[in-house]
Amino acid sequence: MSEEKPDMAMLLKALADTPKRDNSAYHQAIAEARRAFEAAEARLGGPVKVKIKTKTKSNGDYVVKWTFRRMP
């Protein structure tokens, strides 16, 4: 068991030394998604359901299309 402790310490040190990932684009996308749901609910007058289509364009862009519909 004493053999595992140095390996774990090295692993934890390696994790601590890695640079932090920049999640600002992710947080911005989530905020935009929340605003889109709020706007759809306000515009459609209540709860909504969403249909999502995705595709990758030939230039490498990843496109996501959201279609909101009012819940019956």
CA pair distance 4, 25, nearest whole angstrom? 38
**Residue entry with tokens 């749901």:** 37
CA pair distance 43, 22, nearest whole angstrom? 34
pLDDT of 2 > 70? The answer is no
Instruction: Indicate the pTM of the whole model.
Output: 0.63
Question: Taking residues 38-60, what's their average pLDDT?
Answer: 96
pLDDT of 47 > 70? The answer is yes
